[in-house]
Each structure stands twice: as structure tokens, then as C-alpha cells.
Structure 1
Amino acid sequence: MVCALGIEGSANKVGVGIIRDGVVLANPRRTFNAPPGEGFRPPETADHHRRHIVELVAEALKEASIKDPSKEIDVVCYTKGPGMGAPLQVCAVVARTLCQLWNKPIIGVNHCIGHIEMGRLITGAVNPVVLYVSGGNTQVIAYSEQCYRIFGETIDIAVGNCLDRFARVLKLSNDPSPGYNIEQMALRGSKLFPLPYTVKGMDVSFSGLLSAIESNAPGLIAAGEYTAEDMCFSLQETVFAMLVEITERAMAHCGSAEVLVVGGVGCNQRLQQMMGVMASERGATLYATDERFCIDNGAMIAQAGVEMFNSGQTTAFDDTWCTQRYRTDQVHISWRSK
């Protein structure tokens, strides 16, 4: 039975999670929200993480009823990458401090692997094709030979970044997230504005679509031809259809009967609905989680860390740096069979 503490802070959310034997004991987090019309920048985000990380560690330990972490915590885990450099550094420093304070091993975790392993734990999915969709990443992934292999991905911006940037055009609030506010507005839209649909083999491109809606939306809304809600509806329908298409193609190639949606955009109910229809037509099962585990959180880093620790992987202290570039398929998945 391994008890792991995980620290996540690769973007605008900072969280500390504690997992013991597959049970989430604690998972508090804080979110930095930039003003409407703006995105979150590394310096301000890192400062937010510095202001909250210590209280989050204390909160997690209290919630998990851990009195003596030097005896009850077995391993300290942190997000090694990918992500924003300055926020990642804040969490790496805290993880290094805790591992020395408690005299525990430390593990640097790939952010995407954290999402996948948390999704597998919570949903019970065994060997799914994974759609990983977030602010900084868009990938279709399948496991083979101790590697999470990328079948397709965005060739420019991520789907979450696409949604966030359009939210800035509409001056939508960043609380709780731009994507959530677009989702709510899309529920009231019905008129489809045609947008570029760019699927290139197994890859997708969102930059042309974003440019088209950014340049056309203000004028069309002002003229009364479309509402802001219609534009949100059109954006979601188009980008999600692209994602469902490449995911289905990967499932067909792998002969998979499971699909797992992870990452912050994976909370979107419309995306889950569209993916569910596709899965049902294929006789497959859709697995997804809610905002507690889809959105970046410390428990997902702890869970991936547990898997690594149980398979003999730890990180040498001199190697406890972080990186903005750390691909999913660079990680040796030693805890899964060949």
C-alpha cells in the first residue's frame, strides 16, 4: 500500500492531491483567473501558485488525516512537464523541499500521463483509446508496448487554447473557465456559422478556424445576423466533430471498444455527448470524468507517481528539474504489460 502526495501546477491551476492504494484522500486546488478579455501569463500565474501552494499542502494533509507525513507519505510527486515554465518551477521547488524535509523519494511525472492514469483509475477503463484535450494539448493516444503512442494531434494550437482565445473576443469571464462559459452560451445557440473544418489524416488544425471566427464574429453579431450564442455553438460543433472523427479513426485502427476522454476540455458535456454517440454506433463504451478529475489536479500526479513508484521508477534528486516540452510518448510505461 503506497501513499503518494502529488503537486500539479503546469498552468493556471495549482493543486495538491494525496492518494493511498487507489483511493483519493484529498485533492484541493486553486485557480488563477485573469481579467475578462485576457489570458493568464507566466509571471502572474507563478505568483498565484507561490501564494497558495503551502496552504494547499497543509489543507491536503489535514483532509487526508495525515498527522506525520514523514511516516505516512511514501513518495512525493510533481509535474515535470509539459507546461508553463515559471509555474512548473514553483511546484518543483516545493516538491524538492518536501522530499528532503520528510526524507522521501521524489518522482517527476508527465502531465498527460497523470491525466490518463487518473482517468483509468476513476472510470475503470482497461485499455482505451484516449482523447486528451486541454488548454495546451490535443492528442489521440493508444497504448502499445509500454508506451502511450500518439496517433494524432493538433499541428498548431490546442483545442482549449482555441476556445479560450475566442472567449477573449467575446470578453467572457475567465471564472470558472472560458471554455465552460462558451459551453453554457452554446446551449442557447442554434444557427450554425460555417467554419473551416481542417482534418489532415490523423491530425487537426484549429488556427484557421479561430482566425475565421475571430474576424467574422464581431461584425456578424453587431449586424444581428448571428448571436454570440450562435457563434459559441458553431465553434463547439465544428471543433468537436473534428476531434470525434480522428478519435474514431484511431479506434478503428486499434480495434478498440473503449474511448476515454481526459483533460480540462473533457468536462464539456457536448463533447462527451458527441463522443458517446460515436462510441454507441461502434458498440464501444465511452469513459469520462467530471470536473474534479478532468481539470488539472494534484491527485492525478499522485496516481501516476504511484504507478511509477510501484514499478521501480523514481527520479534522482539532481534530475528534479522541469521542462515545458515533455511528450507523452517519451515516457516508459513500465507499470503496464507488453
Structure 2
Amino acid sequence: MPGRVRVEPLKNPDRPYLALGLEGSANKVGAGVIKHSEDGRTTVLSNVRHTYITPPGEGFQPRDTALHHREWALKVIDDCLTQAAVDIHDMDCICYTKGPGMGAPLQSVALIARTLSLLFNKPLVGVNHCVGHIEMGREITGAHNPVVLYVSGGNTQVIAYSQQCYRIFGETLDIAVGNCLDRFARVINLSNDPAPGYNIEQEAKRHARLVSLPYATKGMDVSFSGILTATEAYTTDKRFRADGQPRDVDDVDIITPADLCFSLQETIYAMLVEITERAMAHIGSKEVLIVGGVGSNLRLQEMMGIMAQERAGKVFATDERFCIDNGIMIAQAGLLSFRMGFNTPFAKSTCTQRQAFRTDQVHVSWRA
């Protein structure tokens, strides 16, 4: 395999390298251009995306999401190249999300990447979506060798690096944390703009109290389906006030949407902090890097920060520009791989859903 020739990339490449990254594994289609300079610096030249937003109470279906990506991809790519002030002929490679993700949206973006590769005679690099999040997080925050908490709509994993592989220490046994939040947002009819999880976070900041919910950690793994069912059950309780108005002094038994949002967040984030701390203790790390769309949640960052501080450690996180799915993370991971000599043959430039392309199946050839 070409990518296994060297054990780490050159600190200072012999010339600038440019890569175009294309992402479309879920409801966001994104494009980004990244530059690796001769002096070893990495520069984000552009990072553009467009989100498919459905009405409140509705999720996004693969077919409709794929149609959205096809409609917006060319504009997103054009804006990306314009903002970067480069031409597609300047690219050294075109990187795309190979998986995991939703099948139809992935196929739409893979088709666009293959078309650009043929039109402009550029090498293709298929990128693991999860590794893209990790490498962008490492680059932006400067985290050295952290335990990684990867939390998104489709994934929940606790990861650490060892011997050119990202090892999964623990993960969800059923649904992902982002999926849990999204589904509950639909139950209480919260807006999907800009994201259901963001709106749950804002709702939880209102005057709210903690209600009892199940806490499901199983060793290094977590489970969210039971807590989702329990939270949904409160919405059919006679004490539930769907209008969300603040309770009166005497309404001690009233349960509001804010109560449920607050309680759901506190419980599931406590579970994630617990398994992350266990991984830190296991490998002796004092660094935590939070990546993935849910990683932009400030309450999760705060709770993780409290734990890390007690261990004399530090939390690294980014804002929504880099936490939420984007093209620049695909460009970064793809260019690291490309500089090691790897590219994806056209005949194998397919995409795959989550079961077949796990984080720990990627050879991380650029790290020693």
C-alpha cells in the first residue's frame, strides 16, 4: 500500500501543498481548501458549507439530503475556491468523505469528487469522516496526544492513538448522542435551525430543574436509547406543560420542556465525561480533545473541563466552524495522507456507510 512507505510526514514539505476537501456525510455539504507550507505551517484558506434544514418535528431523509447536496455543491465549491483565491488547477489532490455516513448523501459528494478528478486530472483521496474530525481538531487546538471524545449525530466514541492507529476505547451501544438529542428535539417540536442540539442547549439554559433519568454506562461503553425513551415519557405525563412557560412558585410538580432539555444534557454528558476520564486514567493522558458536531456544546465543554481540571489536565475544543461537519477537515486529513504517498484509485473511489469503515480501520501513516 503506497501510504505505508514512510512513518511520518515531512515537517517542512519541499513546496506548498494544496488540497480541496469535500464533505457530505449528513445534512451539510461543505468544501474547504487547506495549504501546507514549506515552513511547516497549515493554513485554512477557505471553509464553506450549506446545511439542509427541515421543518420543526422532522428529521432529514437520505434521498432529500442527497438532492440538497447536488443542488448546492457547485455553489459551495465555487465560493470555496473564490474565498481561497486559488484555482482548482492549483490543487495537488481532491479529498472526499469516503465514510461513514448516510449512503445517498455520501454518494452524491463522491460522484462530484470523481467528476472533478477526471475533469482536472487530479488524484483522489478518500477520507474517513471520523479521522477528519480528529486531525482538524488536533491542528486547530494544538493538542499533542489527547484522549479524543468524538460526539456527533451518527457517532459516539472515546479514542486514543497508538502505533499508527486510532484505537476505540468505548462507544455507544445503540444510537449516537447527537441522534438522541435530535430525536428528542423533534418530540418537543424544537426548530432545526441552526441545529436541534443547539436549540436544546439554549432551552436548557432557561430556569430548569433536574428530573430523574436512567444513567447507562457499561464499562467503557454508553447507551442512549433508554434515556431517550424515559425523557420522551415525561412529555405524556399529566405534569408536563408543553407551552414551556416558567412555572409559578406553587407549581412544584410542573415539568417543562426546559426541565427535560436540561436533564437530558446533564445526564448524557455526565456519562460521556465518565468514560472519557476512565480512558485518560488508562493511558495516563492529561489532555482531552472534543470533536464532532456535539463537541461545540458549551455545557459539555464545561463539564469536561471540570473533570480535566481535577486531574490537572486540559480540554481542547473548537467552535462550530470546525466541530460541525465541514470540508476543511476532509482536506486536512486527506492531504496528510496524500503527502505520505497515498491516493485512492479511481476504481475504488466508492463510499461506505458506518458499519464498514470504522475509525480504528484507518492506517494513520502520518503519525509516528
Do Structure 1 and Structure 2 share a fold, with TM-score over 0.5? yes
- Trace 1:237-248 onto structure 2 (pairs within 5 A): 237-248=266-277
Which among 121, 125, 128 is matched to residue 143 of structure 2? 125
Q: State the partner residue of 2:114.
A: 96
Confirm whether residue 330 of structure 1 aligns to residue 350 of structure 2.
no
Task: Please state whether the residue corresponding to 2:241 is helix, strand or coil.
Answer: helix
Q: Deviations over 1:79-99 (max 9, x none)?
A: 000000000001001101111
Q: Deviations over 1:194-217 (max 9, x none)?
A: 100000000000000000111122
Q: State the partner residue of 1:231.
A: 260
CA shift, 1:190, in A, is 2.7
Corresponding letter in the other structure for 1:29: R
Task: Please state whether the residue corresponding to 1:142 is helix, strand or coil.
Answer: strand
Corresponding letter in the other structure for 1:259: V
Which among 256, 263, 283 is matched to residue 292 of structure 2? 263
Which among 19, 28, 50 is matched to residue 13 of structure 1? 28
Corresponding letter in the other structure for 1:19: I
Q: State the partner residue of 1:44.
A: 64
Q: What is the alpha-carbon distance in structure 2 between the residues aligned to residue 181 and residue 82 of structure 1?
A: 26
Runs of 4+ with >3 A deviation: none
8 A Cα contact 1:79 1:110, kept in partner: yes
Q: Deviations over 1:246-288 (max 9, x none)?
A: 0000000010011000000000000000000111110111100
Which among 273, 281, 301 is matched to residue 310 of structure 2? 281
8 A Cα contact 1:33 1:175, kept in partner: yes
CA shift, 1:311, in A, is 1.2
CA shift, 1:189, in A, is 3.8
Q: What is the alpha-carbon distance in structure 2 between the residues aligned to residue 276 and residue 213 of structure 1?
A: 26
CA shift, 1:218, in A, is 3.7
Q: Deviations over 1:155-203 (max 9, x none)?
A: 0000000000000111000000000000000011431111000000000
Q: What is the alpha-carbon distance in structure 1 between the residues aligned to residue 98 and residue 30 of structure 2?
A: 14
Which among 271, 277, 283 is matched to residue 254 of structure 1? 283
Q: What is the alpha-carbon distance in structure 2 between the residues aligned to residue 205 and residue 56 of structure 1?
A: 36
Confirm whether residue 146 of structure 1 aligns to residue 161 of structure 2.
no
Q: What is the alpha-carbon distance in structure 1 between the residues aligned to residue 31 and residue 138 of structure 2?
A: 19
Structure showing the higher helix proportion among its residues: 1
Confirm whether residue 3 of structure 1 aligns to residue 18 of structure 2.
yes
Q: State the partner residue of 1:190.
A: 208
Confirm whether residue 111 of structure 1 aligns to residue 129 of structure 2.
yes
Task: Please state whether the residue corresponding to 1:119 is helix, strand or coil.
Answer: helix
Confirm whether residue 84 of structure 1 aligns to residue 99 of structure 2.
no
Q: State the partner residue of 1:214.
A: 232
Q: What is the alpha-carbon distance in structure 2 between the residues aligned to residue 311 and residue 218 of structure 1?
A: 56
Q: State the partner residue of 2:13.
A: none
Task: Please state whether the residue corresponding to 1:221 is helix, strand or coil.
Answer: coil
Q: What is the alpha-carbon distance in structure 2 between the residues aligned to residue 294 and residue 69 of structure 1?
A: 26
Q: State the partner residue of 2:50.
A: 30
Q: State the partner residue of 1:294.
A: 323
Q: What is the alpha-carbon distance in structure 2 between the residues aligned to residue 248 and residue 303 of structure 1?
A: 28
TM-score, length of structure 1 as denominator length:
0.98
Q: State the partner residue of 1:59.
A: 79
8 A Cα contact 2:241 2:257, kept in partner: no
Q: Percent identity?
A: 66
8 A Cα contact 1:189 1:233, kept in partner: no
Confirm whether residue 309 of structure 1 aligns to residue 338 of structure 2.
yes
CA shift, 1:313, in A, is 1.2
Q: What is the alpha-carbon distance in structure 1 between the residues aligned to residue 307 and residue 265 of structure 2?
A: 16
Q: In terms of Rg, which structure is larger? A: 2
TM-score, length of structure 2 as denominator length:
0.90
Q: What is the alpha-carbon distance in structure 1 between the residues aligned to residue 194 and residue 143 of structure 2?
A: 28
Unpaired segments ≥5 residues, structure 1 = none
8 A Cα contact 2:301 2:317, kept in partner: yes
Q: What is the alpha-carbon distance in structure 2 between the residues aligned to residue 314 and residue 126 of structure 1?
A: 26
CA shift, 1:221, in A, is 1.6
CA shift, 1:43, in A, is 0.7
